[in-house]
């Protein structure tokens, strides 16, 4: 516990040094237009209030409402990102690991303090391979960054693999992975601390959102059963996980540090929905943090919020049928429904208008 606290205190100094200098200008990332949200095709019952219910917030950290455009209003200009580095809470060779990151500030939030989200990639990393060898953020991140920016939310996308010399984790068994949830939890907590120190960011409204392996990171970074989470310099005020693997945190016992929403696929045979539902039901909560919420979408496979057709990946060793592959691909109805649920959750918890 003492070592964890020392790490937290030390990284605050690193973050202060980072924010005192002008961040370097990097590659510009163009984001495609976002999809229009739709009514959920099949939503599972949750232990939390309905979308129309008033959010629960600590009186000492009551968030201020931030004006935001309508969910269906696209930004007037393409979203651009600045490439920079963000310190992790993880140490390597006596130094904090420096994470490549992409910063999407919201033009809709100029002149006001606004909420901000850290986006955590899955096992394949945040990039789409290019023939010329350059790296480009995958459309999943740029598209969602555009939609969140339009709501008045700043966005930070981090890369946990490249600084550790790893290209992907999907085809590796758990014991063979050089980047673990310990590393990723520290990355997420470091990114939250960096976010909270940025001008224009409301430190009472910073959160985590992750997919698959990154969704598992969301759980690991919000579970108060971990000493590092209890000692974190900047806790999140909300968290969202798309189709996470829930088994490890469920076995540990999940005690959320922030309101959690999980978006699951009923047909997911890579990270099954059932363990997440069971984890939510067994979670130990202490008000004002509510019980975890979840929505599960009928017929939706892993990666249902993408646009690629469903295919069988035989190179993935895990899943419900080890050695027989897993199905991955988009589901338009579930994609639209999950986007709408996500927007509702963010508006409720952060009291966004529009």
The secondary structure of 40-102 as a DSSP string is: -SS----SS--TTSPPP--GGGPPPPB----TTPPPSS----EEEEEEEEEEETTEEEEEEEE
User: Which residues form the domain of 340?
Assistant: 2-350
202 CB burial (10 A radius; 0-12, 13-18, 19+): buried
Query: Terminal CA-to-CA distance of the chain, rounded, Å?
Result: 43
Is residue 208 a contact partner of residue 239, using CB atoms and an 8 Å limit?
yes
Is residue 238 a contact partner of residue 346, using CB atoms and an 8 Å limit?
yes
Q: What is the DSSP letter of 352?
A: B
Residue from 254, 340, 259, 343 nearest 297 by CA: 340
Residue 137 has pLDDT above 80, yes or no: yes
Q: How does strand 326-328 pair with strand 82-92?
A: unpaired
Question: Could you tell me the pLDDT band of residue 131, with boundaries at 50, 70 and 90?
Answer: confident
Q: Write down the H helix ranges in the chain.
A: 2-20, 139-150, 181-196, 213-222, 227-230, 247-252, 273-282, 332-350
The whole-angstrom separation of Cα 109 and Cα 98 is 27
pLDDT averaged over every residue in the chain: 83
| pLDDT at residue 48 in the model | 38
Question: Could you tell me the pLDDT band of residue 13, with boundaries at 50, 70 and 90?
Answer: low
| pLDDT at residue 135 in the model | 81
The total domain count for the chain is: 1
Residue 335 has pLDDT above 70, yes or no: yes
The whole-angstrom separation of Cα 284 and Cα 290 is 10
The whole-angstrom separation of Cα 126 and Cα 141 is 8
| pLDDT at residue 5 in the model | 42
* Bond prior to 288 in cis (omega within 30° of 0): yes
Average pLDDT, integer, range 114-139: 93
How far from chain centre, in Å, is Cα 342? 11
Residue with more model confidence, 134 or 316: 316
| pLDDT at residue 354 in the model | 66
The whole-angstrom separation of Cα 284 and Cα 47 is 13
The two structure tokens encoding residue 118: 């850290």
The secondary structure of 184-211 as a DSSP string is: HHHHHHHHHHHHHTSTTEEEEEEEEEEE
Residue with more model confidence, 176 or 8: 176
The whole-angstrom separation of Cα 292 and Cα 255 is 10
| pLDDT at residue 67 in the model | 42
Cα 116 to Cα 83, 155, 234, 252, 289: the distances in Å are 17, 6, 13, 29, 19
The whole-angstrom separation of Cα 137 and Cα 157 is 9
Residue 54 has pLDDT above 50, yes or no: no
Residue from 138, 74, 168 nearest 306 by CA: 138
Residue from 348, 313, 274 nearest 51 by CA: 348
How many residues belong to the chain?
354
State the CB neighbour count (10 A cutoff) for residue 203: 17
Question: Could you tell me the pLDDT band of residue 58, with boundaries at 50, 70 and 90?
Answer: very low
Is this structure's pTM higher than 0.95? no
The string of pLDDT tens digits covering residues 207-230 is: 999 999 999 999 999 999 999 999
| pLDDT at residue 132 in the model | 86
The whole-angstrom separation of Cα 170 and Cα 167 is 10
The CATH number linked to 313 is 3.40.50.1820
| Nearby residues of 23 by Cβ (< 8 Å), 6 or more positions away | 82, 84, 103
């Amino acid at each position: 516990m003492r070592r964890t606290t020392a790490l937290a205190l030390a990284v605050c100094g690193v973050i202060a040094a980072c924010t005192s200098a002008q961040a370097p200008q990097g590659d510009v990332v163009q984001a495609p237009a976002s999809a229009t949200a739709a009514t959920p095709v099949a939503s599972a019952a949750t232990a939390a209030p309905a979308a129309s219910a008033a959010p629960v917030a600590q009186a000492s950290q009551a968030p201020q409402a931030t004006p935001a455009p309508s969910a269906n209003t696209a930004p007037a200009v393409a979203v651009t990102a600045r490439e920079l580095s963000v310190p992790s809470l993880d140490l390597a060779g006596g130094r904090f690991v420096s994470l490549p990151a992409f910063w999407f500030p919201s033009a809709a939030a100029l002149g006001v303090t606004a909420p901000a989200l850290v986006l955590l990639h899955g096992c394949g990393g945040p990039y789409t391979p290019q023939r010329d060898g350059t790296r480009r953020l995958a459309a999943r991140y740029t598209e969602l960054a555009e939609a969140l920016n339009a709501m008045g939310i700043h966005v930070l996308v981090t890369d946990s693999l490249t600084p550790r010399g790893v290209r992907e984790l999907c085809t590796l068994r758990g014991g063979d992975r050089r980047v673990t949830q310990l590393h990723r939890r520290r990355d997420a907590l470091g990114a939250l601390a960096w976010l909270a120190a940025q001008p224009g960011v409301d430190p009472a409204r910073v959160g985590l959102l992750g997919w698959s392996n990154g969704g598992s990171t969301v759980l690991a970074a919000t579970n108060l059963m971990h000493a590092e989470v209890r000692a974190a310099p900047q806790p999140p005020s909300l968290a969202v996980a798309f189709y996470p693997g829930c088994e490890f945190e469920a076995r540990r016992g999940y005690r959320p540090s922030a309101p959690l929403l999980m978006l699951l696929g009923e047909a997911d045979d890579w990270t099954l929905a059932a363990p997440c539902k069971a984890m939510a039901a067994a979670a130990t909560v202490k008000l004002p943090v509510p019980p975890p919420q979840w929505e599960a979408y009928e017929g939706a496979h892993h990666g249902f919020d993408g646009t690629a057709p469903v295919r069988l990946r035989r190179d993935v060793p895990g899943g419900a049928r080890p050695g027989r592959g897993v199905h991955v691909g988009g589901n338009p109805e579930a994609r639209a429904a999950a986007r709408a649920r996500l927007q509702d959750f963010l508006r409720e918890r952060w009291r966004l208008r529009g």
